Amino acid sequence: MSHGGVQSSVAVIGAGPSGLMAAETLATSGHRVVVYERMPSPARKFLMAGRGGLNLTHSEPLETFLDRYGRDADQVRAVVAAFPPADLIAWANGLEQPTFVGSSGRVFPQAMKASPLLRAWLKRLDERGVTLRTRHTWRGFDSRGAPIIESVVDAIAGDKFDATILALGGASWPKLGSDGGWVNILKQAGVETNLLQPSNCGVRVAWSDHLIARFEGTPLKRIAVSVCDARAVGEAIITRGGLEGGVIYALGPRIRSALARDGRAELLLDLRPDLDAETLAAKLATARKGDSASNTLRKLAGLSAPAIGLLRERPLPASAGDLAQAIKSVPITVRDLADIARAISTAGGVAWAELDDKLMLRRMPGVFVAGEMLDWDAPTGGYLLQACFASGVAAARGAAAWLAAGAAC
């Protein structure tokens, strides 16, 4: 709580979920905390995420939950294990924002949006003495190690802090606050960062004008998508530029790897994953002479109009067996990912080798990193937000431990 007999002060740069959670954790343990946010109000992307129902986390067993981050993501797994879904749910309940588990196992606040939770959260932060300064932009550190903060009022406004937590987000939805501008600042300080790339985003496909005109914005339901050795089941939306939706987001890392390796990614869409090819062929073989191809596909194969349109981007096979195989493996060539500015999140960021186990930059003692600045690729479904909250807690705990060790010396 103190540093050299004086209350320790910590600057938190960024007022998203990671930064605000770091601020609360530190303030609760008695530190003076100032949060700087360059936008006019805090947590703008968080609020947007809650428009369709704020998916805070997931109710599945912890080991299964941790596996969602990938077996090669030990650092992220450790951060989340130290502040798991049960802790996040208890935190939300403590703000009088009770949660419920949806049919998919995802956890939502009963209000089904972010604004009530954020209001209660900001009230708690204010009660605990956290200062929030909006319209303040971080520009780096001065020769004393103090964060350089540019505000709309003062040319340069900055105090000397005992520690700093950086929680500036990735590079998606820059109009909401996270534009990735911190990358160049840290690179100039010698900190290694991995390229920020779109994650949980759509893919670009060269559709025919006919498909776009008829089916842009329509869903492909109950499909399976395969790429390389990975497969996911879910829904996708046909867009003017390609495909987006949960089933595409789930395969994002594999698609990105294929694009980097080959310059393209080859997807196979199974339009009837609930039927094997033999059963489907038997159904198609009962088609009556004179029935149109579209009627046959709709009535016997159970395909929706968008699925039929997608299948007919190529000539249809004549035999029932070949047509069944075509339905089970529609080839789609992905040429690129959708624009990073429209992605739900980003992959890449500060390399883990640059951080110690307290999330402190090895080259910059007293500076900690949290949230999407970290080099992870968390999926949607509650895993992304859980990691953001958990990393805020981890960075704050790390800062508190570092300050306590300094005060004891």
Q: What DSSP letter does each residue of 267-324 carry, written as one string?
A: EEEES-TTS-HHHHHHHHTTPPTT--HHHHHHHTS---HHHHHHHTTSPPPSSHHHHH
Count helices and strands (H / E) in the chain.
15, 21
pLDDT at 408: 52
What is the spatial distance between Cα 331 and Cα 352, in angstroms, rounded to a whole number?
A: 37
pLDDT at 409: 45
H/E run at residue 115: helix 115-127
- 53 in helix, strand or coil? coil
φ, ψ of residue 174 in degrees (nearest 5)? -60, -25
Angle (CA) 65-236-297 rounded to 5° is 130
pLDDT at 146: 86
List, for the chain, all residue ranges whose pLDDT scores fall below the cut of 70.
Answer: 1-6, 71-72, 153-158, 407-409
Alpha helices of 175-266 — where are they, by DSSP H?
A: 182-188, 209-215, 246-250, 252-262
Under 8 Å between Cβ of 245 and 215: no
What tokens does 42 get? 């805090």
What tokens does 267 get? 């997807």
What is the residue extent of each domain of the chain? 2-198+345-408, 203-337
What is the spatial distance between Cα 231 and Cα 267, in angstroms, rounded to a whole number?
A: 10
pLDDT at 178: 92
Nearest to 130 by CA among 6, 3, 11, 5: 11
What is the spatial distance between Cα 214 and Cα 181, in angstroms, rounded to a whole number?
A: 40
Q: Strand runs (DSSP E) across 76-229, as ranges?
A: 99-101, 106-109, 131-134, 136-141, 147-151, 163-166, 193-199, 203-204, 219-227
pLDDT at 37: 96
Note the pTM of the prediction, 2 decimals: 0.91
pLDDT for 240-299, tens place per residue? 999 999 999 999 999 999 999 999 999 999 999 999 999 999 999 999 988 899 999 999
pLDDT at 259: 96
pLDDT for 359-374, tens place per residue? 999 999 999 999 999 9
Q: Reading across the β-sheet that carries 106-109, which strands appear in turn?
A: 57-58, 106-109, 99-101
pLDDT at 165: 98
pLDDT at 155: 53
pLDDT at 156: 57
What is the spatial distance between Cα 229 and Cα 120, in angstroms, rounded to a whole number?
A: 45
pLDDT at 143: 83
- Supply the CATH classification number for the domain 2-198+345-408: 3.50.50.60
